């Protein structure tokens, strides 16, 4: 099973700029219960963990960020760029990190669960043990 999904967001442009509306009830494959923003300096890494249950939807807001993730033994990188009108859904039990490629880049993350400390898998070796059982 593929543990990620690229979601093309609708956009409307005119001479004054661009609007990207997001309908949380219809367009998205998960029900958003929490939103947070991640700010990063150039070449910094954020995240670098997995979740037991939580799914996360990554929306690029500013700059360019690589979303690097591992599902089982497959590593993949998706470039987040606000000009592409894409959001990326990462399902649970996927090791994920963000590499900020430009200074002052911003990513908004929507989660299908409220914050739960026990949901985090912070050690890569623990992640490998958990997914090996699946």
| Percentage of residues in the chain having pLDDT higher than 90 | 84
Q: What is the pLDDT of residues 81-99, one digit of tens each?
A: 999 999 999 999 999 999 9
Residue 109's alpha-carbon distances to 36, 59, 87, 103, 134, in angstroms, are 5, 6, 9, 19, 26
The pLDDT, as a whole number, for residue 1 is: 53
- pTM of this prediction? 0.92
pLDDT tens digits, one per residue of 46-70: 999 999 999 999 999 999 999 999 9
In angstroms, the CA 30 to CA 4 distance is 12
Query: Residue 22's pLDDT band (boundaries 50, 70, 90)?
Result: confident
Domain assignments of the chain as residue spans, ordered by start: 4-11+27-133
Is residue 85 classed exposed, middle or buried when 0-12, 13-18 and 19+ CB atoms within 10 A define those classes?
middle
CATH of domain 4-11+27-133: 2.60.120.10
Burial label for 103, CB within 10 Å (0-12, 13-18, 19+), is exposed
User: pLDDT of 25-38, one tens digit each?
Assistant: 777 889 999 999 99
């Amino acid at each position: 099973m593929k543990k990620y999904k690229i979601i093309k967001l609708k956009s409307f442009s005119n001479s004054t700029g661009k609007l990207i509306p997001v309908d949380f009830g219809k367009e998205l494959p998960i029900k958003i219960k929490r939103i947070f923003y991640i700010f990063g300096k150039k070449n910094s890494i954020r995240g670098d963990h997995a979740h037991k249950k939580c799914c996360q939807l990554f929306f690029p807001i500013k700059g360019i960020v690589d979303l690097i993730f591992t599902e089982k033994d497959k590593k993949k990188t998706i470039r987040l760029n606000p000009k592409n009108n894409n959001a990326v859904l990462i399902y649970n039990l996927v090791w994920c990190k963000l590499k900020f490629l430009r200074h002052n880049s911003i990513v908004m993350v929507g989660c299908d669960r409220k914050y739960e400390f026990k949901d985090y898998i912070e050690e890569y070796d623990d992640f490998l043990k958990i997914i090996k059982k699946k």
